[in-house]
Amino acid sequence: MADKPLAVKKFKPQLSSQIMGTIPRIMILLIMGTVLAITSPHFLKPMNLINLMAMASIPIVFGLAQTIVVLTGNIDLSLGAIFSMGSVITGLIMKNMEFVPIPIAILAGLATGALMGFFNGILMAKIKLPSFIGSFALRVAVTGIANAILQGYIIYAFPENFRVLGLSRVWGIPVPVYISVVTFFIVWLILNRTKFGRRIYAVGANSEAARLSGIKNERVIIMVYIFAGILAAFAGILQTARVNSTHAFYGETSLLPSIAAVVIGGTSMFGGVGGVFGTVIGAIIMNVIQNGLNLLGIPSIYQQFIVGIIILIAVAIDQLVRNYTTKKVR
């Protein structure tokens, strides 16, 4: 009897700290925006800002997928491959089977993502592989399959009805922005207002305690990976609609920025701490950085290098703060 209110009580401070935790990140974003506005006259132009929002919307959806996995204390390195695979399947159906309605093609892509996520979940929950090894292995296998299907070709030129998803605007704002906002709210509601969301946090914070209190850890982890797989495939399909092409290594470049967004957003790599709002800020910060690099004329060849540095700095700061506040006994 006494257990239940206690659990709810314990959970509440986490929500407020989640919001408090994002304040310094919003400050960083504002500072970066100010600096860019001063150094580059193009930054504050409405065209650039709208473009920035549209560019950030897909990384946000993708980052949400990574966040829910990281919240359980795992990681999913195969999300980039799932991103590619989802868009490749949808693209192939649209190009080769024109009689199939577009929503069905999209659903097939999402189902592929769910299936990949399910494999991930089995690897981590049932076979008990460490998540970074299991998901990395799946990433190699899935990328290999996608490459074998396409044989190195690029699929492009999709029907107009599909490209509406990525290109058209409503009240001057691109559709992907609306989609990312809606997706964010759905994931936020699931994480903060449902049993499933509470279980995700519980498993991530202390999986043994979660198991002892009656949570089926394995099922939660499998569900989380499926959920993340669907979101990643969705992000891939959106990107295809925007860019009008897809290929087997489509998502590989998006994986690291998404992890960086999660880390910058304050979600702990150890699980249980953080949330999706931080990730949204993190994804926007990553995009402002990339946008800034472009505006400042830094060649794209350096961008991978810079993303690597950003990840290292972000995790180092995160860890230093954690070491300072928790005074870990070593």
Partner 1 sequence: MQINDSIKNKNITTRLKRFIDNLPPLTWVVLALIIFFTIFAPGFSKLSNLANVIRRESTLWVIATMATLLLISGGLDLSLGSAITLSGVVLALMLQAGYNAAISSFVAILSGTLIGVLNGGLVAMLGIPAFIVTLGTMNLVDGLALALTNKMAIFFDNPTMVYIGAGDILGIPIPIVIAVVIFIISYILFHHTSFGRYLIAIGENKEGTHLSGVNTKRVTWLIFVYASTMAGIAGVVLASRIQTADPLVGVGWGFEAVAAAIMGGTVRGDGKGDITYTIIGVLFILVLRNGLTVIGLPTELRIAVVGLCTLGGIIFDRLIRRREI
In this complex, which beta carbon is closest to partner 1, that of residue 11 or of residue 118? 118
d(C-alpha 329, C-alpha 34), whole Å:
40
Q: What is the DSSP letter of 45?
A: S
Which tokens belong to 210?
């979660």
Which of 130, 154, 169, 213 forms a contact with partner 1 (CB under 8 A)?
Answer: 130
Residue 44 CB, nearest distance to partner 1 (Å)?
A: 29
Q: Give the interface segment with partner 1, choosing from 36-44, 185-193, 224-232, 301-309 (CB under 8 A).
A: 301-309
Is residue 270 near partner 1 by the rule CB under 8 A?
yes
CA distance 148 to 140: 12
Min separation Cβ 126 and partner 1, Å = 10
Rounded to whole angstroms, the Cα distance separating 240 from 156 reads 9
Q: Angle CA(140)–CA(122)–CA(280) in degrees, nearest 5?
A: 70
26 binds partner 1 (CB under 8 A): no
66: left (phi over 0), alpha (psi -120 to 50) or beta: alpha
- Please give the radius of gyration of the chain, using alpha carbons only, rounded to the nearest integer: 20
- Tell me how many residues contact partner 1 (CB under 8 A): 45
- Smaller CB separation from partner 1, 294 or 303: 303
Dihedral class, residue 215 (left if φ above 0, else alpha if ψ from -120 to 50, else beta): beta
Q: Tell me the per-residue interface mask from 38 to 77 with partner 1, x by CB under 8 A, - otherwise.
A: -------------------------------------x-x
- Rounded to whole angstroms, the Cα distance separating 39 from 32 reads 11
**By the rule CB under 8 A, 294 interacts with partner 1:** no
- What is the closest distance, in whole angstroms, from the C-beta atom of residue 271 to partner 1 in the complex? 11
248's tokens: 């087997």
Interface residue with partner 1 among 92, 115, 243, 256 (CB under 8 A) is 256
Give CA–CA dist 136/11, Å, rounded.
Answer: 32
Pick 24 or 144: Cβ nearer partner 1? 144
| Contact by Cβ (8 Å): 120, 78 | yes
Choice between 68 and 123, CB closer to partner 1: 123
Residues 75-104 that bind partner 1 (CB under 8 A): 75, 77
Distance, CA of 197 to CA of 52 (rounded, Å): 30
Beta bridge partners of residue 169, listed in sequence order: 174
With CB under 8 A as the contact rule, the residue among 8, 35, 49, 140 that binds partner 1 is 140
| Residue ranges binding partner 1 (CB under 8 A) | 75, 77, 123, 127-130, 132-134, 136-138, 140-141, 143-145, 147-148, 151-152, 256, 259, 263, 269-270, 301-309, 311-312, 315-316, 319-320, 323, 328, 330
